């Protein structure tokens, strides 16, 4: 299996390389690409050094699977080029997610959608994946009438520059220095919350909020699912959190909710109010599961349930999902490759 990683030096790209090692992914050849400022640098994978090289059609023609973690613009350009070169693309951007002929896949939910791929497969937004997994577990037992989700998203979802800005602002504030003007976000992020992720749209939702709505519907094959979202950037480095309220068509017990979640692959429960046990970003950083806690009846609606979800956005929210998709492609003989 010949693999090319586009965006290898980025936050998601580096986790992807680490997961190649952890999961003993069966590659025979590995190529690493990144922006021009990284050319010539080296990264170590499985105790072997790989130089960062430029992307080219020649390289992509010799690639079985191309993993892309880059901007939407770069994904559009390189993704289509790789597809035309015969490489199967697994893309982490929003470039192709809502295109009808591109599967948007979470392997624990809709792995069979891979059979419809035409050379490009999309990974959902990092907040969509954990939400969709929880809704998938619950909707198999009871129809869902409405979902309201509020997200609390770490700065690593933006990238290394945002992590650096948070560290810089925190250092300046705690040492009584004048804080630099924010460059990445519209406001200071240190010791603050910003209820805006991406730009606002005509209906006053942000693009991030619309991504969660539309992507969740596509993954669950439920285009009419009533869902509303509010996305907030928080001064946390890794892991996204979500407060979710779900209204069912019939009353459902918290005991049944726990049972359904525990039986779903990739979901773990941390939920014991007696010991103050619930998932937090620090607990989930570096882990692969979607963690759920604070499971309780919604006191405002007899058919409602409230719960709390936390997930490492760089792993299951991005890189791990890509690795799992590649593994499924190989297992199902859905990708042509050189052993």
> ∠ CA 295-298-300 to the nearest 5 degrees?
170
Active site residues: 126, 240
Q: Are strands 48-53 and 65-68 parallel, antiparallel or unpaired?
A: unpaired
DSSP result, 6-29: ETTTSHHHHHHHHHHHHTT---SE
CA distances 113 to 137, 147, 241, 249, Å, are: 18, 24, 27, 27
Could you give all domains of the chain from N- to C-terminal order, each with its CATH number?
2-125+318-331 (3.40.50.720), 128-154+193-313 (3.30.360.10)
DSSP annotation of 272? B
Identify the CA nearest to 8 among candidates 30, 27, 24. 30
Q: Are strands 240-248 and 48-53 parallel, antiparallel or unpaired?
A: unpaired
- The C-alpha atoms of residue 103 and residue 126 are separated, in whole angstroms, by 16
Buried/exposed 85-101: b ≥16 CB within 10 Å, e otherwise: bebbbbbbbbbbbeeee
Helix, strand, coil share (%) of the chain residues, nearest 5: 35, 25, 40
Residue 142 and residue 261 in contact, taking contact as beta carbons nearer than 8 Å:
no
Q: What is the pLDDT along the chain (339 residues), one digit of tens a residue?
A: 999 999 999 999 999 999 999 999 999 999 999 988 899 899 999 999 999 999 999 999 999 999 999 999 999 999 999 999 999 999 999 999 999 999 999 999 999 999 999 999 999 999 999 999 999 999 999 999 999 999 999 999 999 999 999 999 999 999 999 999 999 999 999 999 999 999 999 999 999 999 999 999 999 999 999 999 999 999 999 999 999 999 999 999 999 999 999 999 999 999 999 999 999 999 999 999 999 999 999 999 999 999 999 999 999 999 999 999 999 999 999 998 777
Query: Within 13 Å and on the Cβ side, how many CA atoms surround 18?
Result: 15
- The C-alpha atoms of residue 250 and residue 252 are separated, in whole angstroms, by 6
DSSP annotation of 187? S
- Alpha-carbon radius of gyration of the chain: 20
- The C-alpha atoms of residue 281 and residue 152 are separated, in whole angstroms, by 10
For residue 53, the cross-strand partners are 33
For residue 153, the cross-strand partners are 233
């Amino acid at each position: 299996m010949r693999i090319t990683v586009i965006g290898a030096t980025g936050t998601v790209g580096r986790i992807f390389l680490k997961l190649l090692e952890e999961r003993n992914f069966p590659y025979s050849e590995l190529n690493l690409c990144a922006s021009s400022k990284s050319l010539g640098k080296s990264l170590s994978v499985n105790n072997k050094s790989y130089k960062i090289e430029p992307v080219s059609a020649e390289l992509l023609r010799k690639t079985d699977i191309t993993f892309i973690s880059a901007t939407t613009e770069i994904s559009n350009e390189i993704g289509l080029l790789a597809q035309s070169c015969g490489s199967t693309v697994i893309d982490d951007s929003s470039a192709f997610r809502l295109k009808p002929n591109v599967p948007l896949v979470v392997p624990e939910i809709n792995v069979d959608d891979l059979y419809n791929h035409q050379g490009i497969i999309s990974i959902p937004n990092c907040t969509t994946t954990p939400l969709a997994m929880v809704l998938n577990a619950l909707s198999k037992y009871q129809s869902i009438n409405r979902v309201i989700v509020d997200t609390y998203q770490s700065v690593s979802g933006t990238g290394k520059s945002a992590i650096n800005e948070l560290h810089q602002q925190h250092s300046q504030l705690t040492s009584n220095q004048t804080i630099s003007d924010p460059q990445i976000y519209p406001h200071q992020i240190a010791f603050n919350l910003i209820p805006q992720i991406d730009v606002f749209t005509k209906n006053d939702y942000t693009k991030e909020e619309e991504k969660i709505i539309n992507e969740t519907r596509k993954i669950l094959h439920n285009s009419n699912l009533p869902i509303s979202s509010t996305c907030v950037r928080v001064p946390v480095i890794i892991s996204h959190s979500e407060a979710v309220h779900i209204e069912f068509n019939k009353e459902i017990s918290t005991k049944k909710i726990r049972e359904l979640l525990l039986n779903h692959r990739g979901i773990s429960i941390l939920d014991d109010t007696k010991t103050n046990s619930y998932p937090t970003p620090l607990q989930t950083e570096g882990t692969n599961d979607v963690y759920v806690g604070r499971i309780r009846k919604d006191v405002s609606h007899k058919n409602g349930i409230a719960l709390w979800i936390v997930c490492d956005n760089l792993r299951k929210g991005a890189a791990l999902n890509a690795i799992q998709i590649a593994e499924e492609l190989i297992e199902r003989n859905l990708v042509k490759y050189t052993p």
